[in-house]
Structure 1
Amino acid sequence: MQTKHFFSDPNHLVLTALRSLTLTNPSLALDAQNKIVFRRPDAPRKPGKVSIVTGGGSGHEPAFAGFVGKGLCDASVAGTIFASPSAEQIRRAAIDRVPTDSGVLILPNNYTGDVLNFGMAAEKCRAAGIRTEFFAINDDVGVGREKGGKVGRRGIGGGVLILKMTGALAEAGGSLEEVYGLAQFANENLVSIGSSLEHVHVPGRGVPEDFIPNGEVEIGMGIHNEPGSHRTKANLVEMVSTMLYQLLDPNDTDRGYITRTPKDEFVMLINNLGGVSPIELAGITDEVHRQLVRDYQVKPVRVIQGTFLTSLNGMGFSISLLKLADNGLGAGRSMLDLIDAPAEAVGWSAPIPASTWTDRVDAPVELKDSNLAQETSSKLKLDPAVVKKVLGAGLKRVIAAESDVTRFDTIVGDGDCGIGLKRGAEAIQDLLDNASPALSDDVVNTVLRIVTVVENVMDGTSGAIYAIFLNALAHGLRAQDTGTDLPATSEVWAKALKHSVTALSKYTPAKPGDRTLIDALVPFCETLFETHDVRVAAAAAQQGTESTKSMKASLGRSVYVGSEEEWIGKVPDPGAYGLSEFLTGLAEAV
């Protein structure tokens, strides 16, 4: 493992890497505070173009910021190394750094943190009235369906081809519906797998204890050192043979994601994970192509080789195969046409043309910052005194339950659930008591102000879930605004909550029965929609929470923390318990 680096501060490294893109491509700008690279608003741009926002953790360069430019993406948001950017960073990118008049497509890779945070930003865009679509790219077959479970395939090197095609279609004037549909369609015809000789080392961190022994290779290893299907002793020829088998074996029900006929055409992408020398990468490309033609009678119509999505200086590579199916978009917009289309992004192979340098503008870009809570208004009305009374009763109950939630979470989790809920409840209570300006009777505005508190105070997976849910709630309420004063009745809330549950399901695989806070949330929302009775709905949430005592966890830390014998039949899910206490408090105050 290579542990020597020129940079010892990973945060400084990320910022300097992002800043370099504005030096190598003068059509780009950088919002350093939010780590957003975006196309300059004063650079040439076709009117009415759909905006594409991507991003993810740093350490995968040139992905994702290297794919911002004409013909590709409009903005990319960077997290720290191997960590998702926050929803607030992504929101600023999608609302303030790109044009939104023709809609926004948000395209991260399929990792839990990315899905939650990019998904939360997508809901904030919708709550702001912006036409927005979201899709998490998932092309990896290294883990397989059984092990991947509800999370699904990971997003790795092949996703670059999806960014390229959707970017080209948007540049050609494709609608938001067409660009979003293409992302889904291309993903269905895309498979990738990576393998590596060694784990990677993050600058500024200690040396990990896990090494891949000399002579062995990790088949299917992920882009953050995640394990693949297996480790084995193999030379390059054997290694490539195994990888192609996992990509194309028609009888493998666990990994068979595409079918093929002798007439099908493919694009092959060989991606350097960062540490393979150019000469070895070239040799790898030759070996993959040779076996693909010889063993599978597939002669790719395009062979693309290079460094597109890395794992820092990972000593490995990935193979991606894209089946060129008919996308129904007509002449000049086939999948191959879109891959061949020019693009001005330093991470893609096309060079930046002289015209872009001629049109460069050195003046600084004025950064626009929006505040959804201040800028959003509606005609849905609810007396602020009622909000304070009802919401305050629920918050008070959550705060009082902190010790029980913490005790439960110490047994089945990592012990921080109670403190996190209490911290969020206290911050919302402070908003109710001391808001400046004071809360109005505009219920959508009030919800958005609460969202801001939740996003700033509550962290972790539960914080992201609550923030996504509340953003979707604001959207669901806003959708019922007819332009004339309308009281926010239980029926109005019920419709909005049903919308929120549907929206949340896009970003988390959790369902009732998985032993999560969903076991309290869904029964409450569904019962309220059916009965419009808050007390009956809160009782359903309590019943759902009680049922978690006997459930085996399938998501969250409870899957691998502690012994089930210690808590099965005794301890409810901490998140569900805390939520049901809040909902019970609401019901008692109505």
Structure 2
Amino acid sequence: MQTKHFFTDPNHLVLTALNSLTLTNPSLALDVENKIVFRRPDAPRKPKKVSIVTGGGSGHEPAFAGFVGQGLCDAAVAGTIFASPSAEQIRRTAIDRVPTDQGVLIIPNNYTGDVLNFGMATEKSRAAGIKTEFFAMADDVGVGRTKSGKVGRRGIGGGILILKLAGALAEAGGSLDQVYRLVQQTNDNLVSIGSSLQHVHVPGRGVPEDSIASDEVEVGMGIHNEPGSHRTKFELVGLVTTMLRQLLDPNDSDRAYIKYTPKDKFVLLINNLGGVSPIELSGILDEVHRQLTGSYNIKPVRVIQGSFLTSLNGLGFSISLLKLEDTGLGAGKSMLELLDAPAEATGWSNPIPTPTWENRNDSPVQLKNSNLGQENPSNLKLDPAIVKKILGAGLKSVISAEPEVTRFDTIVGDGDCGIGLKRGAEAIQKLLDTAPLTDDIVNTVNQIVTVVENVMDGTSGAIYAIFLNALAHGLRDQDKGSPLPASTEVWAKALKHSVNALAKYTPAKPGDRTLIDALVPFCDTLFQSKDVHAAAAAAQKGTESTKSMKASLGRSVYVGSEEEWVGKIPDPGAYGLSEFLTGLAKSA
């Protein structure tokens, strides 16, 4: 493993790498504070064009900022190395850094943190009145259906083909609905797998304890050092044989994601994970192509090689195969034509043309910043005194329950669930005590959303933030232009909307032993009965049922011994939420 780097400060490295893109492509600008690379507002741009926003953790260059430019993406937002950017960074990208008149497609790779944070930004964009679609690219077959479970396939190198087709269609005037359908269709016909001889080392961090033996290779290893399907003795011909079998074997029920016939045409992409020399990558491509034509009778109509989505200096590569299908979009908009369309992005193969250099403008870009403190008013009304009374009772209940939640989470988790809930509850209570609340309930919910996003971290914090953002949207949707009391029926409809929105970004369902086991019964019962007491009882019943459930998501999957808690300990997140809902109902 190579542990020597020219940079020792990873944060400084990320910023300098992002800034370099504005030097190699003069049509781009950088929002340093939010780590957003975006097309300059004064650069040439076709009118009435859908905006495409992507992004993810740094360390995968040229993904994702290297794919920003005419004909590809409109903006990319970067996190720290191997970590998702925050929802606030993404929200600012989608609302403030790209045109929104024709809608926005938000399209990260399929990793939990990315899905939650990009999903939260999607809901905030929708709540702001912007037509927005969300799609998580998922092309990896390395771990198979059984191992990937509800999370689904990971997003790896093949995703650049999805971005390229989407960007070309948007440039050609495709509508948001057309672009969204195309990315779904492309993903359905795309398979990828990577392999690596060694883990990578992140600048400024210690050396990972696990190491791959010098004569072995990890088949299917992910782009963050995640394990793949297995390790085996290394020999290139045999490795390529194994990888192609996992991509194309129709009898492998765990990995047969695409069906094909001898008449089907394919695009082949060989992606360097960062540390393979160009001459070796060329030799790898030759071996892959030889086996594709000889063993599978597949002669790709396009062969693409290079570094598109890396893993720092990862000593590995990935193979992606895209089966071409009729898009139904007419002349000039087939998958192949869209792939061949020009793109002014340094991460893609085409160079920046002369007109772009002639239009160079080095003057600073005036950054637009939306003011979340001045929300559009709504006509949904609720007396602030009632809000403080009912919500305060729920907050008091969850704060009191912290020791028990912490005890439960110490047994089945990492022990921080209770503290996180208490921290969030205390911050919301402080808002109720100090903020000048009005009778505009949508405005109040938005203020609470801001508090939750700032003080509650981790997966549960993201889930609560997405849910509350969707709640604000669900309430505003019921505003018909004249004053309307925020009745139980209004809340029930909004909560139902929030549950549906949350389901887009987390695979958790009732029965998975998560806070969803308390949340969904509460919302469903309230929607059906309009009785908050019955809804709170349903949440308690759902929480109690988690005692006998086997965990399928979260840290409970691999923390602690089931003998310690099965039949005894409820899910801590569900328990904490149920306590809040019970306290809230008692004061209603």
TM-score range, shorter chain: over 0.9
1:376 CA displacement? 2.3
> What secondary structure is seen at the aligned counterpart in 2 of 1:207?
coil
Distance, in Å, in 2 between the alignment partners of 1:69 and 1:221 is 30
Other-structure match for 1:232: 232
Alpha-carbon distance between aligned partners in 2 of 1:183 and 1:288, rounded to the nearest angstrom:
26
The alpha carbon displacement at 1:363 in A equals: 1.1
**2:90 and 2:195 mapped to 1: Cα distance?**
30
Structure-2-length-normalised TM-score: 0.99
Q: For residue 368 of structure 2, what is the aligned residue in structure 1?
A: 368
The 3-state SS of whatever aligns with 1:374 is coil
For 1:533, the equivalent position in structure 2 comes to 531
Separation in 2, partners of 1:184, 1:376: 33
Equivalent of 1:467, from 455, 459, 465?
A: 465
Which residue of the other structure, out of 556, 559, 571, is the alignment partner of 2:569? 571
Q: C-alpha displacement at 1:234, in angstroms?
A: 2.9
Q: Distance in 2 between matches of 1:50 and 1:440?
A: 37
Checking the alignment, whether the CA contact within 8 Å between 1:27 and 1:39 is kept in structure 2 is yes
Tell me, yes or no, if structure 1 residue 515 matches structure 2 residue 513: yes
Q: How many Å separate the matches in 2 of 1:250 and 1:372?
A: 51
Deviations 1:363-411 (A, max 9, x none): 1111111133423221111111111111111011111111111111111
2:272 is the counterpart of 1:272: yes
**Alignment match, 1:190:** 190
Counterpart of 1:199 in structure 2 is: 199
Residue 158 of structure 1 corresponds to 158
1:326 aligns with 2:326: yes
Amino acid at match of 2:556: S
User: What residue number does 2:447 align with?
Assistant: 449
Distance in structure 2 (CA, Å) of the matches to 1:463 and 1:305: 40
Report the 3-state secondary structure (helix = DSSP H, G, I; strand = E; otherwise coil) of the residue aligned with 1:494. helix
Residue type of the alignment partner of 1:538: A
Measured in 2, the distance between the counterparts of 1:350 and 1:320 equals 20
Question: In structure 1, how many angstroms separate the alpha carbons of the residues matched to 2:102 and 2:482?
Answer: 27
1:501 match: 499
In structure 2, the partner of 1:114 is 114
Residue 395 of structure 1 is matched in structure 2 by: 395
Check whether the contact 1:37–1:77 (CA below 8 A) recurs between aligned residues: yes
**Structure 1 residue 312: Cα displacement:** 0.3
CA distance in 2, matches of 1:375, 1:384: 17
1:44 corresponds in structure 2 to 44
Matched, 1:5 2:5: yes
Q: Distance in 1 between matches of 2:84 and 2:237?
A: 35
Which one-letter code corresponds to 2:15 in the other structure?
L
Question: Could you tell me whether the CA contact under 8 Å between 1:381 and 1:443 is conserved in 2?
Answer: yes
Offset at residue 444 of structure 1 (A) = 1.1
Within the alignment, does 1:246 sit opposite 2:243 as a pair? no
Change in Cα spacing, 1:373 to 1:470, as seen in structure 2 (3 Å) is farther
- Aligned twin of 1:484: 482
- 8 Å CA contact retained: 1:373, 1:445: no
Output the CA distance in 1 between the equivalents of 2:363 and 2:13: 25
Give the aligned partner of residue 557 of structure 2. 559
- Percent sequence identity is 82
The amino acid that maps onto 2:459 is T
Segments of 5+ residues of structure 2 without an aligned counterpart are: none
Long gaps (5+) in structure 1: none
RMSD (CA atoms): 0.7
Alignment match, 1:169: 169
Whole-angstrom CA distance in 1 between matches of 2:548 and 2:527: 27
Matching residue of 1:546: 544
CA distance in 2, matches of 1:147, 1:497: 33
Shift of the alpha carbon at 1:505? 0.6
User: Could you tell me how far 1:301 is from its partner in structure 2?
Assistant: 0.3
1:429 maps to which residue? 429
Structure 1 residue 209, shift from structure 2 partner: 1.5
- Which amino acid is the alignment partner of residue 577 of structure 1? Y
Contact 1:199 1:225 in 2 (8 A): yes
Deviations 1:502-537 (A, max 9, x none): 110111110001100000000000000000111110
Question: What corresponds to 1:587 in structure 2?
Answer: 585
Find the residue that maps to 2:501 and give its secondary structure: helix
The one-letter amino acid of 2:529's match is: T
Residue aligned with 1:543, SS? helix
SS at match of 2:151: coil
Aligned equivalents of 1:111, 1:246: Cα separation in 2? 21
| Superposition deviation, residue 339 in structure 1 | 0.4
| Distance (Å, rounded) in 1 between the aligned partners of 2:63 and 2:339 | 17
Q: Separation in 2 of the partners of 1:571 and 1:260?
A: 48
Residue 97 of structure 2: aligned partner: 97
Q: C-alpha displacement at 1:445, in angstroms?
A: 1.1
Letter in 2 for 1:566: E
Residue 349 of structure 1 corresponds to which residue in structure 2? 349
Please identify runs of 4+ aligned residues in structure 1 that moved more than 2 A.
none
Q: How much has 1:182 moved relative to structure 2?
A: 0.5
Displacement of 1:361 in angstroms is 1.2
Contact 1:395 1:426 in 2 (8 A): yes
Residue 43 of structure 2: SS of its match in structure 1? coil
Deviation track 1:335-374 (CA, whole Å, cap 9, x = no partner) reads: 0011000000000001001100111111111111113342
Match for residue 338 of structure 1? Answer: 338
Q: 2:333, 2:470 → 1: CA distance?
A: 34
Letter paired with 1:584: T
Could you say what secondary structure the match of 2:317 adopts? Answer: strand
The corresponding residue for 1:417 is 417
Matched with 1:78 is 78
Q: For residue 14 of structure 1, give the secondary structure of its aligned residue in structure 2.
A: helix
State the alpha-carbon separation in 2 of the partners of residues 559 and 232 from structure 1: 27
1:313 aligned counterpart, secondary structure: coil
Report if the CA contact (8 A) 1:68-1:345 is conserved: yes
The reply to whether residue 302 of structure 1 matches residue 302 of structure 2 is yes
> Partner amino acid for 1:468?
I
Question: CA offset at residue 224 of structure 1?
Answer: 0.4
What is the distance in 1 between the residues matched to 2:420 and 2:566? Answer: 24
1:225-273 CA distances to partner (integer Å, 9 max, x unpaired)? 0111100013111110100000000111100000111110000000000
Q: What amino acid is aligned across from residue 48 of structure 1 in structure 2?
A: K
Matched residue type, 2:585 = A
1:124 aligns with 2:124: yes
State the distance in 1 between where 2:475 and 2:173 align: 32
Cα pair 1:192 1:320 within 8 Å, conserved: yes
Name the CA distance, whole Å, in 1 between partners of 2:391 and 2:75: 38
Letter in 2 for 1:306: G
Measured after TM superposition, the shift of residue 442 of structure 1 is 1.1
Q: CA deviation at 1:481?
A: 1.0
Q: Distance in 1 between matches of 2:99 and 2:441?
A: 28
Q: AA paired with 2:114?
A: D
Mapped to 2, the partners of 1:110 and 1:4 lie a distance apart of 30
8 Å CA contact retained: 1:194, 1:319: yes
What SS does structure 2 have at the residue aligned with 1:462? Answer: helix
Q: Deviations over 1:57-86 (max 9, x none)?
A: 000000000000000001101000000000
Letter paired with 2:336: L
Provide the C-alpha distance between the structure 2 equivalents of 1:549 and 1:110, rounded to a whole number of angstroms: 30
Query: Residue type matched to 2:208 in 1?
Result: P
TM-score (norm 1): 0.99
> How far off its partner does 1:439 sit?
1.2
Asked if residue 144 in structure 1 is aligned to residue 148 in structure 2, the reply is no
Aligned residue pairs, count: 588
